[in-house]
């Protein structure tokens, strides 16, 4: 039996990029510059990704292989260098208080990301965050760092596939009166494959993802810090509370969530047809490459941007 569509709540599930989004710097860059190939060689490798001369996976393997530092020792420089979004801790607490799953989705190495979160948030709060990233093989003396890729592809981790896998799992975990609402938070073009699969897309103001969304008319919500994201998600929760309380329809129901509401049973799972990404979207550029403001770009606050999104799918 299908639940009354007028009483359906949206179960918010958050996914966030890590480097350039939760943290302002790139964790890999900090390590490579200090303990590996160095900034000059890394910039050459970045350009090889950008031009398509080499794949993200191939270049990443060279960068990680250049490291020569024991795993634990490498985190002194990360602790001293990384800056966390000033409102992320409060947002993370808000998600926990409202039973909103929060997931990191990254092309980086899971052990590194976990250690960083443990360091900045504490192990108890860090443990509440699911990390969807590549595993790693690191020998004891730190002379060999090797990614263990999630997927057999040129990018190593197909973020779009991971988001859609999570959507199916979220649907299975929803109650009869719930549908999953996938939120994605990012800053760069490399986030597009995952962002296109989300229902609500947040793009950090003034960076390449926002610029790309404006160029290609992709609906999104701009943000400066995670406080802006918290405020928007509070609106979504309030809309659903008002709706199920009989006070009219919410302001934002999105097409993908409507598709889920039309599913007639817990066993019926819609088939997804992933959009073929453009060449630019397939390039996994490092944050300082794809987060760089274009010369002469106006201040983000002055740009005309949509305040509400209905779907991140172009």
Using CA atoms, how far apart are residues 12 and 100, in angstroms rounded to an integer? 6
Pairing of strands 102-109, 9-16: parallel
Using CA atoms, how far apart are residues 155 and 161, in angstroms rounded to an integer? 12
More confident residue, 173 or 145: 145
What are the tens digits of pLDDT across the range 188-234?
877 888 888 899 999 999 998 899 899 888 899 999 999 999 999 99
Lowest mean pLDDT segment, chosen from 119-133, 164-178, 260-274, 278-292: 260-274
Q: Is the pLDDT of residue 1 over 60?
A: no
Mean pLDDT of the chain: 79
Q: Is 125 a catalytic residue?
A: no
Domains delineated in the chain? 12-25+85-289 (3.40.50.1000)
Using CA atoms, how far apart are residues 187 and 206, in angstroms rounded to an integer? 9
DSSP 96-107: HHTT--EEEEEE
Under 8 Å CB-to-CB from 249, ≥6 apart: which residues? Answer: 6, 243
> What does the block give as tokens for 70?
């024991």
Catalytic residue among 4, 17, 76, 240: 17
Does the predicted model carry a pTM greater than 0.95?
A: no
Using CA atoms, how far apart are residues 141 and 70, in angstroms rounded to an integer? 5
What are the tens digits of pLDDT across the range 125-144?
999 999 999 999 999 999 99
Q: Is 19 a catalytic residue?
A: yes
- pLDDT band for position 243 (cuts 50, 70, 90): low
Q: Report yes or no: 313 and 275 within 8 Å, Cβ to Cβ.
A: yes
Using CA atoms, how far apart are residues 22 and 283, in angstroms rounded to an integer? 21
Beta bridge partners, 109, equal: 134
Q: What is the pLDDT of residue 187?
A: 92
Q: Is the pLDDT of residue 5 over 60?
A: no
What are the tens digits of pLDDT across the range 47-65?
998 888 999 899 999 999 9
Catalytic residue among 19, 33, 46, 158: 19
Q: What is the pLDDT of residue 309?
A: 38
Distances (CA, A) of 57 to 158, 172, 246: 11, 32, 51
């Amino acid at each position: 039996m299908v639940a009354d569509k007028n009483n359906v709540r949206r179960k918010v599930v958050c996914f966030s990029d890590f480097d350039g989004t939760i943290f302002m710097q790139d964790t890999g860059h900090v390590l490579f510059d200090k303990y590996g190939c160095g900034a000059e060689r890394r910039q050459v490798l970045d350009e090889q990704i950008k031009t398509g001369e080499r794949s993200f996976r191939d270049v990443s393997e060279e960068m990680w292989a250049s490291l020569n530092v024991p795993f634990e020792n490498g985190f002194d420089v990360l602790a001293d260098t990384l800056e966390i979004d000033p409102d992320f801790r409060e947002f993370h607490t808000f998600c926990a208080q409202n039973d909103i799953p929060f997931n990191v989705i990254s092309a980086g190495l899971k052990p590194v990301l976990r250690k960083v979160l443990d360091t900045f948030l504490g192990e108890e709060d860090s443990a509440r965050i699911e990390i969807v990233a590549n595993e790693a093989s690191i020998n004891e003396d730190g002379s060999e760092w090797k990614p263990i890729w999630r997927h057999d592809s040129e990018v190593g981790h197909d973020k779009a596939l991971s988001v859609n896998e999570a959507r199916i799992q979220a649907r299975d975990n929803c109650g009869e009166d719930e549908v999953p609402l996938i939120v994605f938070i990012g800053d760069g073009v490399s986030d597009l494959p995952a962002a296109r699969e989300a229902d609500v897309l947040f793009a950090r103001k003034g960076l390449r993802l926002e610029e790309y969304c404006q160029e290609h008319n992709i609906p999104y919500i701009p943000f400066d810090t995670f406080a802006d994201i918290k405020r928007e998600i509070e609106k979504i929760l309030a809309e659903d509370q008002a709706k199920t309380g009989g006070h009219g329809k919410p302001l934002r129901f999105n097409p993908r969530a409507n598709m889920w509401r039309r599913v007639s049973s817990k066993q019926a799972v819609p088939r997804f047809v992933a959009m073929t990404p453009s060449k630019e979207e397939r390039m996994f550029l490092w944050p300082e490459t794809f987060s760089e403001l274009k010369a002469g770009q106006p201040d983000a606050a002055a740009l005309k941007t949509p305040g509400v999104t209905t779907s991140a799918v172009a």
